[in-house]
């Protein structure tokens, strides 16, 4: 496996856009992401809800009452990570979780403080805030170091302001996938799309653009062996800064003989485990 040259890497300004989930109970999941995560309902129909912050869509819920439960061997979503802009916003998220749901875990990752929970249909969620970028620990080769340490929830709780909605500046900071092969994950997301490896831990890899700690994580902890299907992850977006970068990505995909569907302003591709990635221009 080769490492991309500097001209084949995604630049700073690349980010994760919307994430889409296929769900059975659209009303319940819409209410959950509104009341617990704190998103606003931007658009709603009998089969689809779009939620976000201010006028920015972050999450698309696709209602499908007949979608089967995700198979225990199926690849897909580990969690969608909503990034909030401050410790106060994280404290408010903790209060909403405690008022309406149940906290699943909490960690200090050296680069961020994170809360974890699971939605009513089993989709993982992280809500986190970053430490200042100049405080992130780095290894000798410049890569970001990520750890998992206990998080002092008292300090998070004390920062809360009582805000019942996620504030402006909230976005999807990263997405974490469950995959069948980390080699195949890196071949596609690093060697072809142009992300760079930041951190590896046993059975997991974290990649990013522009030196961020990670835009996409992937793990094989639960030994998934079959493609994504059923309820759960439908697709997610990678947003690049300009049309020239989109053209470069398309060229790398076509050179790797990966089928590409062109859309207005972007591309649709299916990566390892048939996970759909939509690549859009900012």
CATH of the domain at 35: 3.10.180.10
Report pLDDT for 5.
Answer: 40
- Please give the share of the chain, as a percent, with pLDDT higher than 90: 95
Domain total for the chain? 1
2-24: per-residue pLDDT in tens?
Answer: 343 446 899 999 999 999 999 99
Report pLDDT for 7.
Answer: 66
Domain region containing 240: 6-281
pLDDT, the chain, mean: 95
- CB within 8 A of 34, min separation 6: which ones? 40, 41, 51
C-beta atoms surrounding 4 within 10 Å: 16
Following DSSP, what letter does each residue of 45-87 receive, concatenated?
A: -SSEEEEEETTEEEEEEEE-TTPPPPPTTB-EEEEEEEEPSSH
pLDDT above 90: residue 160: yes
- Output the pTM of the full model: 0.95
Report pLDDT for 265.
Answer: 83
88-145: per-residue pLDDT in tens?
Answer: 999 999 999 999 999 999 999 999 999 999 999 999 999 999 999 999 999 998 889 9
User: Torsions phi, psi of 177, nearest 5?
Assistant: -110, 155
Mean pLDDT of all residues in 242-265: 95
Lookup result for tokens 């009341």: 35
Report pLDDT for 11.
Answer: 96
Examine residue 229 and state whether it is found in any structural domain, yes or no: yes
Examine residue 1 and state whether it is found in any structural domain, yes or no: no
Q: CA of 253: how far to CAs of 132, 155, 197, 240, in Å?
A: 34, 46, 19, 15
Report pLDDT for 223.
Answer: 96
pLDDT above 60: residue 150: yes
pLDDT above 50: residue 268: yes
Mean pLDDT of all residues in 202-219: 97
User: Torsions phi, psi of 222, nearest 5?
Assistant: -105, 15
Examine residue 236 and state whether it is found in any structural domain, yes or no: yes
Report pLDDT for 256.
Answer: 96
pLDDT above 70: residue 1: no
Query: Residues 276, 234: contact at Cβ < 8 Å?
Result: yes
- CB within 8 A of 129, min separation 6: which ones? 83, 84, 85, 86, 87, 89, 90, 112, 113
Q: What is the dihedral of CA 131, 169, 166, 239, to 10 degrees?
A: -100
């Amino acid at each position: 496996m080769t490492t991309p040259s500097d001209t084949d890497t995604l630049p700073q300004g690349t980010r994760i856009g919307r994430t889409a989930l296929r769900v059975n109970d659209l009303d319940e999941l819409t209410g959950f992401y509104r009341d617990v995560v704190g998103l606003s309902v931007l658009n709603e129909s009998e089969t689809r809800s779009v939620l976000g912050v201010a006028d920015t869509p972050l999450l698309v819920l696709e209602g499908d009452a007949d979608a089967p439960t995700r198979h225990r061997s199926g690849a897909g979503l580990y969690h969608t990570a909503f990034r909030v802009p401050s410790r106060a916003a994280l404290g408010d998220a903790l209060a909403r979780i405690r008022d309406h749901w149940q906290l699943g875990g909490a960690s200090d990752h050296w680069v961020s403080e994170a809360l974890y929970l699971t939605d009513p249909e089993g989709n993982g969620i992280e809500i986190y805030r970053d430490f200042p970028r100049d405080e992130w620990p780095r290894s000798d080769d410049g890569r970001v170091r990520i750890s998992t340490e206990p998080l002092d929830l008292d300090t998070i709780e004390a920062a809360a302001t009582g805000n019942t909605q996620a504030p402006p500046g909230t976005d999807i900071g990263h997405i974490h996938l469950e995959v069948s092969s980390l080699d195949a994950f890196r071949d596609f997301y690093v060697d072809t799309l142009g992300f760079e490896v930041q951190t590896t831990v046993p059975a997991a890899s974290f990649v990013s653009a522009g030196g961020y700690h990670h835009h996409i994580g992937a793990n094989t902890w639960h030994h998934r062996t079959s493609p994504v299907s059923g309820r759960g992850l439908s697709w997610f977006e990678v947003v690049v800064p300009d049309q020239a970068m989109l053209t470069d990505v398309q060229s790398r995909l076509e050179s790797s003989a990966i089928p590409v569907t062109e859309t207005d302003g972007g591309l649709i591709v299916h990566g390892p485990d048939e996970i759909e990635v939509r690549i859009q221009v900012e």
